[in-house]
Amino acid sequence: MIEIKDVSKLYPGKQKTITAVKDVNLTINDGEIYGIVGYSGAGKSTLVRMFNGLETPTSGVVTINGTVMSELKGKPLREARQKMGMIFQYFNLLWSRTVLENVTFPLELIGMDKAERIAKATKLIDTVGLQGRENAYPSELSGGQQQRVAIARALANDPQLLLSDEATSGLDPKTTDEVLELLLKINRELKITIIVITHEMHVIRKICDRMAVMDEGAVVEEGNVFDIFRHPKMEITRQFVSEEETPQLNDTTVVINELLAQVPTGKIVKLTFHGDQAKLPIISEMLRQFPNVDLNIVDGSIHQTQEGSIGTLYLQLLGDDDEIAGATDYLHKMRVGTEVIRGE
């Protein structure tokens, strides 16, 4: 278990002191995937570097399985680091080494015997799906493949904890999903705790169990990923969630405006479904109860999170005012989030 207690990090400067991390308290359980989301400069990279002692807190303590990281120095610190893996946005592979040599690197550091480390590295290269590329150099691989090598390298010392610092930020959407699948598989099969730092809500939704939102060095919201997606409390969290819910928000606005121009008598509502509601035939039931309402689907999406699905639907409702009011009341009654985007 990882405990962060009252952790702050200040960088004294000539003009003024910069607070990179401000009074952060977090508990991360063994075996979970914990996401920390925030815009760049929010302090999440500084925070994650305190887990393996690359940064030390100005005040507060980071405790990993009972060991206070900031008290470690020299050999004990290096040994603690050998039990953690870390992956980065730009992969940070050694270009002068082949894939195999990159993966054996951490094993060389602990003085493992050559035959043993080659056997182990070869197995890890299989795990990340790069068999056959052992003798390639990083420059001959795609970004996604390089990150796989970095993941294999991070796993070489059988870590209990894997730190991922914007590991998918440099990758295209398809490759991002492949790397996320791999991280999920590693978490499930090897029972490794993973801490994911990202500015993309997509990454959190896809693999994280719990999450924290950071803004200007402080954790402003924390909890279950599903709950936060459903009821974001802070404005910044709402921004992150809405980015992810409607990835083509601008397109949707365009579509709504076009529709309004074509059919000036429309009411546009945004419906949000979570979990079980997304599985119920609520809309068809609504139409059965209010048969004079005409309905036009403007846009919609359903996302899978680790705990269930979240759906968003943009509808144009046409017809008698009373009927429409009844229909939206029905939706409210069914606990569907209903938001009127444009009235009459």
Partner 1 sequence: MVSSTTGFSSYFHFSQVNWPSMWSATVETIWMTIFSLVLVGILGILLGLLLFETTGSTNFWARLVHWVTALFVNVFRSVPFIILIVLLLPLTKNLVGTIIGPKAALPSLIISAAPFYARMVELAFHEIDHGVIEAAEAMGATRWQIIYKVLLPESSPALVSGITVTGISLIGFTAMAGVIGAGGLGNLAYLDGFQASNNTVTLVATIIILIVVFIFQTLGDLIVDKLDKRVAN
Report how far apart, in Å, the C-alpha atoms of 47 and of each of 53, 54, 256 are: 10, 10, 42
Spatial distance between the Cα atoms of 175 and 147, rounded to a whole number of angstroms: 10
Q: Could you tell me how many residues of this chain bind partner 1 (CB under 8 A)?
A: 30
* Largest pairwise CA distance in the chain: 80
Q: Contacting partner 1 (CB under 8 A), which of 46, 70, 127, 157?
A: 157
Q: Which of residues 215-244 bind partner 1 (CB under 8 A)?
A: none
Within 111-150, which residues bind partner 1 (CB under 8 A)? Answer: 137-140
If binding is defined by CB under 8 A, does position 50 make contact with partner 1?
A: no
Structure tokens at 325: 């009011």
**Binding to partner 1 by residue 95, rule CB under 8 A?**
yes
Q: Does 250 bind partner 1 (CB under 8 A)?
A: no
Smallest separation, CB 98 to partner 1 (Å): 8
Q: Are 175 and 3 in contact (CB under 8 A)?
A: no
Burial class (CB in 10 A: 0-12, 13-18, 19+), 209: buried
**96 vs 262, which CB is nearer to partner 1?**
96
The total of other beta-carbon atoms located within 10 Å of residue 192's CB is 21
Least distance between partner 1 and beta carbon 183 (Å)? 17
Distance of alpha carbon 43 from alpha carbon 39, whole angstroms: 9
Which part of the chain contacts partner 1 (CB under 8 A), choosing from 101-109, 196-204, 234-242, 293-301?
Answer: 101-109
18 binds partner 1 (CB under 8 A): no
Select the span of 79-87, 278-286, 314-322, 332-340 touching partner 1 (CB under 8 A).
Answer: 79-87
CB atoms within 10 A of CB 291: 9
Q: Residue 9 has which token pair? A: 């990090």
Site residues for partner 1 per CB under 8 A: 52, 54, 77-82, 84, 86, 88, 90, 92-97, 105-106, 108-110, 137-140, 153, 157, 163
